[in-house]
Amino acid sequence: MPFDHIRQGLLSAREAIGAAVVSSDFYLQLGLIVLCALAAWASRALFRARFDVSSIAMGWPGRLRRFMRVLVGSAPIAVFAALVSLLGILMRETALGGPAWPLLAAAQLALTWLAIRVVTSAIRDPLLVSLVSLLAWCVAVLGIVGQLQTVSAALDSVAIVLGDLRLSPLLVIKLVVLLALALWASKLLSQFLESRISRSGDLTPSMQVLLIKLTHVVLMVVAVVLVLSAVGINLSALAIFSGAVGVGVGLGLQKIVSNFISGIILLVDKSVKPGDLVSVGDSTGRISAMNTRYISIAAGDGRAILIPNEDLVTQKVVNWTYSETNALVKVKFGAPYDADPRHVCQLAVSVATAVGQISKSKPPVCLLTEFDDNGMLFALSFWIADPSGMDATRSEVMAALWEAFRRENIRMPYPVRDIRMAVPPPAVEGSR
């Protein structure tokens, strides 16, 4: 049984370690390990002086900055691992001090510590960090005692065969570990490319979002394909799983796929882009983000309205900034019949011109639109540069109109009604 070989190997490793501890070569190598540790500790100040993380990673995403900070901080560990490895190899090849397993074991433990620090720098969950650390230390200890191959063979001896696919515990462990590392690396790389694409002034906002999303998808697919090939899984063996995915899409994932395709269409045709002021149904606001499944609209009152991409393709969408950033605002008001309509129009135009938010390149226009029962109706039209301030500008113009009408003794029209009361004739005496 494979597990019997593991137990016998561990017993033999314990006996070999016990015999080596009493030899003088062990203490010689232990002294060399201490010297390497002191040299690595002294190199820490050199790395801090030569590598300024703040200046190197300026403008990088948060995870990349944290990764660079951990990488520079772990440089002394890498120096220690390199020194003890070099001494161990030199001692083993020249037979200067007998077996060099203490030096090589110290190098392997240092490399394991370095790998744990680098990998767990991107993990926030404490439980997941503990599991990754425990797995790494177990692999390192098994490698030191020479039982890693035996344990690997034992885990690979039990398997489930599904067609051309052979699933063993060893394959599952390799797949999970390598897939997590590959997806983590692809995410770091995509964030780095995203920061570079976002700062490009030659690309439109919609093209930037499209390139960022395509980069995320391509890197993720490449990472999965490379991991499957690395663990020895033939992609043709996954045909049954791809068929199951197709059935799942046909049964319950239509909306997800539809929103994804709609998001690609929106980015390609440039009908909407980040920063546009849009109205979808009863929701109005600026597009703050375009994601794979939805767009996020900042309503201006602290809310973020999430609208599926499919709705923007199939429903009526008002884009206030599609062709130009200026927006036309209309203010309707009335005046009594005893006022001069030409004077009212001139007064309204002068009031609107005095408002700072109104565009000076397109002067305001006031038109007499209707003779109503209560008075004359007017429409004042003007352009503003920022459509998001439409309501505030309209309110300011209406307040200024009210003040101007009071100065000019022009009253606002109000309903006038003539009431006639029918009074019965007085009673005549004797008519009873």
Average pLDDT value for residue range 275-304: 81
pLDDT of residue 256: 75
The Cα 372–Cα 415 span in angstroms is 10
pTM: 0.49
- Which of the pair, 324 or 80, is modelled with greater confidence? 80
Cα-Cα-Cα-Cα dihedral sign, residues 208, 211, 217, 219 = negative
- Model confidence at 292, pLDDT cuts 50, 70, 90, reads confident
55: its two tokens = 């200046």
Count CA atoms within 13 Å of residue 385 on its CB side.
7
- Which of the pair, 52 or 404, is modelled with greater confidence? 404
Q: Which residues pair with 381 in a beta bridge?
A: 330, 365
The residue type at 185: A
The Cα 395–Cα 344 span in angstroms is 19
pLDDT of residue 315: 84
The Cα 165–Cα 326 span in angstroms is 61
- Rounded to the nearest angstrom, the gap between the alpha carbon of residue 312 and the centroid of all alpha carbons in its chain is 21
The predicted-structure confidence for 192-226, as pLDDT tens digits, reads as follows 788 778 777 667 676 777 788 788 888 888 888 88
The Cα 357–Cα 389 span in angstroms is 9
Q: Which long-range contacts (CB under 8 A, 24 or more apart) does 72-76 make?
A: 72/47, 72/48, 73/117, 74/114, 74/117, 74/118, 75/43, 75/44, 75/47, 75/51, 76/40, 76/41, 76/43, 76/44, 76/47
The Cα 264–Cα 284 span in angstroms is 22
| 406 pLDDT above the threshold of 70 | yes
Q: State percent of the chain over pLDDT 70.
A: 74
Q: If you ran DSSP here, which 8-state letter would residue 432 be given? A: -
User: Under 8 Å CB-to-CB from 335, ≥6 apart: which residues?
Assistant: 341, 344, 375, 376, 378, 405, 410, 412, 413
Please name each of the domains of the chain with its CATH number.
2-157 (no CATH), 177-204+218-249 (no CATH), 260-319 (2.30.30.60), 327-407 (3.30.70.100)
Q: Which of 276, 321, 315 is nearest to 297 (CA)?
A: 276
Q: Which of 390, 265, 379, 393 is nearest to 325 (CA)?
A: 390
Distances in whole angstroms, Cα of residue 244 to Cα of each of 220, 251, 391: 20, 10, 52
pLDDT of residue 345: 93
In the predicted model, what is the mean pLDDT of the chain? 76
65: its two tokens = 């900055």
The Cα 352–Cα 25 span in angstroms is 95
Place of tokens 């494979």: 2
The predicted-structure confidence for 353-387, as pLDDT tens digits, reads as follows 888 778 878 889 999 999 988 889 999 998 888 77
For 201, the 3-state DSSP assignment is: coil
Average pLDDT value for residue range 140-153: 70
pLDDT of residue 367: 93
- Model confidence at 1, pLDDT cuts 50, 70, 90, reads very low
| 240 pLDDT above the threshold of 60 | no
Please work out, in degrees rounded to the nearest 5, the angle formed at the alpha carbon of residue 150 by the alpha carbons of 148 and 152.
70
411: its two tokens = 């009253």
Cα-Cα-Cα-Cα dihedral sign, residues 219, 220, 221, 224 = positive
Whether the Cβ atoms of residue 415 and residue 374 lie closer than 8 Å to each other: yes
Q: Which of 136, 138, 106 is nearest to 119 (CA)?
A: 136
The Cα 138–Cα 135 span in angstroms is 5
- 423 phi and psi, to 5 degrees? -100, 125
221: its two tokens = 């697919």
30: its two tokens = 């232990």
User: Under 8 Å CB-to-CB from 51, ≥6 apart: which residues?
Assistant: 72, 75
The Cα 71–Cα 165 span in angstroms is 38
Average pLDDT value for residue range 234-243: 61
The predicted-structure confidence for 384-405, as pLDDT tens digits, reads as follows 887 777 888 889 999 999 999 9
Average pLDDT value for residue range 87-105: 69
- Model confidence at 297, pLDDT cuts 50, 70, 90, reads confident
pLDDT of residue 263: 80
Q: State percent of the chain over pLDDT 90.
A: 8
Distances in whole angstroms, Cα of residue 167 to Cα of each of 161, 244, 254: 6, 18, 31
Count CA atoms within 13 Å of residue 342 on its CB side.
0
Whether the Cβ atoms of residue 307 and residue 278 lie closer than 8 Å to each other: no
- Model confidence at 52, pLDDT cuts 50, 70, 90, reads low
Average pLDDT value for residue range 308-319: 85
The predicted-structure confidence for 247-269, as pLDDT tens digits, reads as follows 665 655 677 777 778 887 887 77
